[in-house]
Structure 1
Amino acid sequence: MTIDVAAARRPDVKALSRVLGRAFFDDPVMMWMVPDDARRTSALPRIFAAMTRHHFLAGEAVEVAGRAGKVGAAALWDPPGRWKTTTREDLAMMPSFLLAMRGEAKRGMEVSELMKEHHPEEPHWYLAVIGSDPDVRGAGFGQALMASRLDRCDAEGAPAYLESTKESNVGYYLRFGFEVTGELTVPGGGPTMWQMWRAPR
């Protein structure tokens, strides 16, 4: 069956945030930010929903991949020049973040600040989040999402940037033309992230 890629709308937020929550359950950064498994299960969809609703949708670069009307994967992109959240967006997201993170909010802020500090300034498309539901992983949903946006990057002559939060995913992104440009390690025994940049083709 065909995998359909489409721009996400507000009614898609619940489904895509649930998919991303499942996709990132075993992610090293998310596990460090929310160590308790049970709490992480409920926290991650809330975090992704807040990010999507209050920041990413306005950039009109959120995409979902689905089959037979069911979302299997999602990607949260920022267009060139839009990767920084505004004060208004931060304030809108804060209640959901605090509720989700509870006593671990400081860890989330440490990760966010580290990423912002080392984010490239050259205009680019920023792939902030991409993930597939574990039930469909390996079935081509993520590949369909990557191809959809990277084709546009190439048509515009624009580079793309991401941080891989799993070392095992670095090879996956290399196949799409990304190259490792640096490593970010969260202080105090935190996880490592791999900065990756893709020149347009």
Structure 2
Amino acid sequence: MGVAIRRAGEEDRGEVVRLLDQGFSADPVSNWVFPSPERLRQRHAALMDAFTSIALEEGHVDLAVDGTGCALWASVPAGAHGDDDDPVRFREAVDPDNERVEQIARLTAAVHPTDRAHAYLMMIAVSADVRGQGVGAALINSVLEECDRAGLPAYLEASSLRSRALYERLGFAFMGTPVELPGGPFMYPMWREPRG
């Protein structure tokens, strides 16, 4: 199955947020951030919108032309470590009364590699009706091919063992120590060296 992909812009924000909201509403990490089903319904889209803003500002968003999937990427320079107030601002933008929004931002920032520039796959979502048909792999591989040409590594955090296995098939390797969300699931930092 050929997947046509284009770079999304601000005008695509609604479609991207909808895909992410649907794709991650049952994800174990999203359900840890929003343990109340009502709060998940109310604020989850705001979390996805905040991630979309970061990708549009610090990287790019790839969108399947037919609207079946999207991938959020950030370009991370060597030595990047962010501002200590970034998690606070993130929480204020998403759900000011929910300390888990800030907590997950701090926990993932603490393990994010800073020694080398890399492409960071922040999130990827594929419509349920086309999962397993290669849309996600196409969205990821289009950027990994660019990384390989540029000699640039890639990084992500898998939110489940299932997604970790999918990323391993694309050349990512688990970095050895998971991120443990207090009382919740694990996240798996993964790194991919460029292929020559």
In the superposition, relative to structure 1, how do residues 87 and 11 fare at CA in structure 2: closer, same or farther (>3 Å)? farther
* Cα pair distance change 1:90/1:186, threshold 3 Å: closer
Alignment partner of 1:186 is 2:181: yes
- Quick one: which of 94, 98, 113 aligns to 1:97? 94
1:139 counterpart = 2:136: no
- One-letter amino acid of the structure 1 residue matched with residue 75 of structure 2: P
Name the residue aligned to 2:100.
107
In the other structure, the counterpart of 1:154 is: 148
TM-score by length of 1: 0.85
1:80 aligns with 2:73: no
Which sections of structure 1, spanning at least 5 residues, go unmatched?
none
Q: 1:90 to 1:14 in 2, by over 3 A?
A: farther
Partner of 2:118: 124
Give the RMSD, CA atoms, in angstroms: 2.3
Question: Cα offset for 1:120?
Answer: 0.6
Q: Secondary structure at the match of 1:79?
A: strand
SS at match of 1:12: helix
User: Conserved in 2, the CA contact under 8 Å of 1:66 and 1:141?
Assistant: no
- How far residue 2 of structure 1 moved from its aligned partner, in angstroms, is 4.5
Are residues 1:19 and 2:19 paired? yes
Q: Which runs of 5+ in 2 are unaligned?
A: none
Quote the Cα distance in structure 2 between the aligned partners of 1:42 and 1:31: 13
Is the Cα contact below 8 Å between 2:68 and 2:130 reproduced in 1?
yes
Number of equivalenced pairs: 192
Amino acid at match of 1:169: S
Deviation of the 1:59 alpha carbon:
2.6
Matched residue SS, 1:120: coil
Contact 1:164/1:195 (<8 A) preserved: yes
Larger CA deviation: 43-52 vs 161-170: 43-52
Contact 2:91–2:99, Cα closer than 8 Å, also in 1: no
Q: 1:165 aligns with which of 159, 166, 188?
A: 159
Q: CA offsets, 1:25-68, max 9 Å, x none?
A: 11111101112224323422221112323x2112342111132x
Give, as a single letter, the amino acid of the residue that structure 1 aligns with 2:45: P
